[in-house]
Amino acid sequence: MIKLNISSVPASGIRKYFDLVNEMEDVISLGIGEPDFVTPSTVMQAAHTAMNRGHTHYSSNMGFLSLREEISEYMQSRYQLSYSPKDEILVTVGASEAIDLAMRCLLGPGDEVIIPEPSFVAYKGCATFTGASVVSVDLDADHKFKLSAEKLEKAITDKTRVIIFPFPNNPTGSIMRKEEMAEIVEVVKDKDLIIISDEIYSELTYNGDHVSIASFDSIKDKTLVINGFSKAYAMTGWRLGYACGNKELILAMNKIHQYAIMCAPSLAQYAAMEALKNGADDVRYMVEKYNQRRRVLVNGFNEIGLDCFEPEGAFYAFPSIKNTGMTSDEFCEKLLKEQHVLVVPGSAFGECGEGYVRATYASSIDNIIEALERIDRFLKNRTNNKVKR
């Protein structure tokens, strides 16, 4: 009954962890890929006000023009990118919808999409739904999980239509610097393909400001920048994102969007306008907190013997657990059962994530410290047992 390219996508492998967690009381979860902060109060107030004034109707398909104007201004001032609010910006239901729309517009059976891994799971899923073939490019810790021009070039074929460019990266926390992107640009600038640059974590970088790959003029027209409000403004539940790109692609995406979704939720759009107008201080506050916790978590992993490279973006650490002799899935399941700490197996983000786990520092300092102590105990219990045997 179900189409093959849907049914062939396996159900999520993390289901069992939910079942385990439900039986426990004192679990510390570092498995949650969303901010622990609550949406800034000024943003919530804006939504209240809009509601009380009766602004409860549809917006235009592409999103309120006033919001698109704010986004346009933000992209210009923050990342030096120029997009017309009229037809180069589409407001979507989360960045996730933008990813899905773009793939549906660009991919079909016989096409190839290049996805660097480990990566957010939706790229592969959405690509497969279109019938396209996924070409994974394995990134590794030795190169700080960065995408090299060399690896990318090898993966490109005549059939390549789309390259996913997911930085700052979930789950590794890796980022790409401007000079590293310049090499990527050289490889793709004369090719007939589209780069989908998922920059949802752009505000969360810790050693300098985020640079968008679209800021290279030679490829701006073939780059679709996807961003949103979830991570930067702690607005995950509001489901609001956007895509910026060339008119032809944006209008095609809007075609699907208007039939499938109609428009993104109006109240969330009012909230987002306030976030862009007056949310910068809140973002700065949260980023400083994440940065402190980042140091505690990464330092902690290295101290208890789990090798962890320095993540410079998003809110994840991606330590290696290879020296424990366990697979990432075993590690996570046993850690949860024995010490009630939840981290996510790296293998959930692609085969090359095997041997790593993802732990988020979007959690309180107390939780992070307690989790590290428990993981330390977990590791010590195992070495002690080995010695006894």
Partner 1 sequence: MKERILKILENNGNLTVKQLAVLLDVSEDTVRDEISRMKKEGVILGFNTVIDWEKTERQLVNALIEVKVHPKKERGFDEVAERISSLEQVTGCYLMSGGFDLTVMVEGKDFKEIAMFVAEKLAVIDGVLSTSTHFVLKKYKDGGVHFVNKVQDDREAIVL
Whole-angstrom CA distances from 297 to 29, 60, 103, 252, 329 are: 14, 44, 35, 43, 21
| Per CB under 8 A, 351 contacts partner 1 | no
Q: How far apart are CA 238 and CA 230, in angstroms?
A: 8
| Per CB under 8 A, 369 contacts partner 1 | yes
Q: How far apart are CA 104 and CA 98, in angstroms?
A: 10
C-alpha of 315 from chain center: 10
| Per CB under 8 A, 31 contacts partner 1 | yes
| Per CB under 8 A, 296 contacts partner 1 | yes
Complex with partner 1: residue 167 or 349, whichever CB lies closer: 349
| Per CB under 8 A, 284 contacts partner 1 | no
Q: How far apart are CA 143 and CA 140, in angstroms?
A: 6
Candidates 83, 315, 349, 361: give the one binding partner 1 (CB under 8 A). Answer: 349
Q: Identify which range of 64-72, 93-101, 186-194, 341-349 contacts partner 1 by CB under 8 A.
A: 341-349
To partner 1, the closest distance from the beta carbon of 358 in angstroms equals 9
* Count, residues near partner 1 per rule CB under 8 A: 30
| Per CB under 8 A, 305 contacts partner 1 | no
| Per CB under 8 A, 365 contacts partner 1 | yes
| Per CB under 8 A, 27 contacts partner 1 | yes
Complex with partner 1: residue 258 or 292, whichever CB lies closer: 292
Closest CA to 65 of 89, 92, 98, 93: 89
| Per CB under 8 A, 6 contacts partner 1 | no
| Per CB under 8 A, 32 contacts partner 1 | yes
* Strand ranges across the sheet with 316-317: 316-317, 357-360, 344-345
To partner 1, the closest distance from the beta carbon of 293 in angstroms equals 8
| Per CB under 8 A, 121 contacts partner 1 | yes
| Per CB under 8 A, 234 contacts partner 1 | no
Complex with partner 1: residue 72 or 360, whichever CB lies closer: 360
First to last CA, the chain: 53
C-alpha of 378 from chain center: 29
Contacts of 92 (CB under 8 A, 6+ apart): 98, 101, 228, 240, 241, 242, 243, 257, 261, 264
Complex with partner 1: residue 79 or 349, whichever CB lies closer: 349
| Per CB under 8 A, 33 contacts partner 1 | yes
| Per CB under 8 A, 316 contacts partner 1 | no
Q: Give the pairing type, strands 223-228 and 241-244.
A: antiparallel
Q: How far apart are CA 77 and CA 63, in angstroms?
A: 21
Closest CA to 343 of 29, 13, 36: 29
| Per CB under 8 A, 29 contacts partner 1 | yes
| Per CB under 8 A, 61 contacts partner 1 | no
Whole-angstrom CA distances from 181 to 3, 152, 196, 199, 355 are: 38, 12, 14, 14, 27
Candidates 255, 295, 337, 380: give the one binding partner 1 (CB under 8 A). Answer: 295
In this structure, the number of other CB atoms found within 10 A of the CB of residue 218 comes to 11
Candidates 5, 9, 34, 370: give the one binding partner 1 (CB under 8 A). Answer: 34
Q: Identify which range of 67-75, 98-106, 275-283, 290-298 contacts partner 1 by CB under 8 A.
A: 290-298
| Per CB under 8 A, 120 contacts partner 1 | yes
| Per CB under 8 A, 135 contacts partner 1 | no
Structure tokens at 45: 């107030």
Applying CB under 8 A, the residues found at the interface with partner 1 are 12, 14, 17-18, 21, 27, 29, 31-34, 36, 38, 120-121, 170-171, 292-293, 295-296, 299-300, 342, 344, 348-349, 365-366, 369
